[in-house]
Amino acid sequence: MSELVRVWQEAVTIPTYGIGSPEKNPMFLEKRVYQGSSGVVYPHAVIERIEDEKHEKVYQGLFLENQYLKIMILPELGGRVQMAYDKVKNRHFVYYNQVIKPALVGLTGPWISGGIEFNWPQHHRPSTFEPVDFTTEERPDGSKTVWVSEVERMFRTKGMAGFTLYPDRAYLEIRGVLYNRTSLPQTFLWWANPAVAVNDDYQSVFPRCIRRF
């Protein structure tokens, strides 16, 4: 009998517009305003150029699948959910952007639309276009989880997102786990930015969480 929930890694090729090199010297003090708040991103460097031509690029995709859903996560692009497919209705229930075309609207420059983006400790997170660590987990109930994580460079806090599929359940469970690795209180904003196809019934909802820990 085949497994009810599968998890695996697979190389995927996606047309991608490249980005320029980061600024050599990260800006320590900057009065830039970004979405109504400070645009300071030190010690991150800012990227200010996107290439005009796309090329085929191979990414390491992390896949979760059961009899209802198939999910693809890209740890090389911030650990975002790039694809979420409903196998029963034969449709993508999150907008699936099949081209990686960054725009310079992120805190450090490159940001892409589509899928589900996870943002912390502020705004469109500085590392949204950077690689993150990942691991997988299997539980006695047959569920399987892909964990993506990073220690962010601005405040040295650690953030994790866990994506879980269960046998015989037609939903993707997403859990956020945060760690304050410092001796001082740290503020953070945690929110997911899902993309959906627009139609006559479309209504925008952005789940956000602002806490101090």
Q: What pLDDT digit, counting tens, does each position of 185-208 carry?
A: 988 888 888 888 777 776 665 544
Task: Please enumerate in sequence order all residues whose Cβ is within 8 A of that of 17, keeping only pairs 6 or more positions apart, or say none.
Answer: 50, 51, 52, 53, 54, 99, 100, 101, 102
> Is residue 30 included in any domain, yes or no?
yes
Q: How many domains, in total, are found in the chain?
A: 1
Q: How high is the pLDDT of residue 103?
A: 93
* Full domain range(s) for residue 93: 6-212
> Is residue 93 included in any domain, yes or no?
yes
Alpha-carbon distance of 57 to 198, in angstroms, equals: 28
Total residues belonging to the chain: 213
> Is residue 27 included in any domain, yes or no?
yes
Give SS3 for 137: strand
User: What is the arithmetic mean of pLDDT over 137-146?
Assistant: 96
Alpha-carbon distance of 196 to 94, in angstroms, equals: 5
> Is residue 80 included in any domain, yes or no?
yes
158-182 pLDDT, tens digit each: 999 999 999 999 999 999 999 999 9
> Is residue 1 included in any domain, yes or no?
no
> Is residue 125 included in any domain, yes or no?
yes
Q: For residue 15, which of 51, 47, 58 has the smallest C-alpha distance?
A: 58
Burial 113-131 (b: 16+ CB within 10 A, else e): ebbbbbbbbbbbbbbbbbe
148-158 pLDDT, tens digit each: 999 999 889 99
